[in-house]
Amino acid sequence: MRTPTILSALLLGLGFCQAETIPVTADNFAQAETAWNFTNWKKLGADKAIVPLRDVSPTGPEAPTVRMNWDTLYSIRIVKVADDHTFTVHLPESELYMSAHILDEDGFAPYYLIEKGKDHEVKVNTDYALIIFRTEILDRKSPESLKITHASQDKIKVTGVMDGEYVPPPFDQEQLEKLRTEYKAEFLKRGDDFTYAKGPGRVDQHVLDLSHAAGWGGMEPELDVSNVYMSSDTMPGDVARSITFEDPKNKFFTSFTLYDADGYLMDGETHINSKMWKPNPDGTITIHFNAGADAVNNLSSGGKPFNYTIRNYGVSRKVLDGAWKPLKPEPVK
């Protein structure tokens, strides 16, 4: 027997039927934003089978969601769970970084799996779940590198789920967009880290909603396992800047990616990770922004305003303790 979810309770409490539009408020923003993201992947067929993205994430609003990255290729599956709400995820053996990230309809992420070569049985509290598989890209500009990534993607499996089309609740999309825009602006103004949770009651819901708006699809921090994301303020692109920091020594790798004001990837040299950057003689790292092609580790927004997100894969103790936060680059003198 299926148990009521946060989403179904909200719908029943409002007395709406599927044919009517559901107002979007602070009380159901997480469910509405999650449904919007689920729907974007449904349009690609992810509720029928695993959808492996073969090319690097597109720039601009052609992307299915904001804050996508060029560290990994996604494989996505929306599943309708069985009555016991369990299903099985298989991560294959691979030399590449791989993970399986489980999200429910309430926007929570109860699992972030990284152990390869085994089956993982998981349980969620909602009738549908979305799985984001991440498979490392060694060189996004190399066709041969992408083939290696594709080979690992092809070995991913999901079993123990039911057949069924994902039908999103009819949330008011204009209200959702308005609240999303407000929350994005508040998130960037506050300068907080992205915050996500495994389940209800673990983090203030408004804080979670700000992160959902600015970059839906994260996970709760777990040392050496999950990832921690942090984002800078938006800054003008006509000033050369730089920032120098110590290596955070994350278990897998670290990356910097530029985004436009709406949170979408930008064209050009807008991404670098710790397997690509050149350290300074003393072991520190300097990242330049709009400082010219000759500047070490230079990222360019093409003169346009930008912000950047740092991803810490297999987050280290230094990052978890809050001592490492290189988010305020200074103008180059």
Are 258 and 69 spatial neighbours (Cβ–Cβ below 8 Å)?
A: no
Domains of the chain: 6-175 (2.60.40), 221-331 (2.60.120.600)
- In the prediction, which pLDDT does 12 show? 42
> What is the helix, strand, coil percentage profile of the chain, to 5?
20, 25, 55
Check the CA dihedral 156-160-164-165 and report its sign: negative
- In the prediction, which pLDDT does 333 show? 87
Name the pTM for this structure: 0.86
One DSSP character per residue, 99-130 reads EEEEEETTS---EEE---SEEEEEE-SSSEEE
Q: Which of 328, 202, 318, 186 is nearest to 254 (CA)?
A: 318
- In the prediction, which pLDDT does 64 show? 78
Q: How far apart are CA 133 and CA 107, in angstroms?
A: 16
Q: Which residues pair with 113 in a beta bridge?
A: 100
- In the prediction, which pLDDT does 15 show? 41
Q: How far apart are CA 258 and CA 78, in angstroms?
A: 28
pLDDT along the chain (333 residues), means of 10: 46 50 98 97 96 94 88 97 97 98 98 98 98 96 96 98 96 98 93 90 96 93 95 95 98 98 94 97 98 98 97 97 95 94
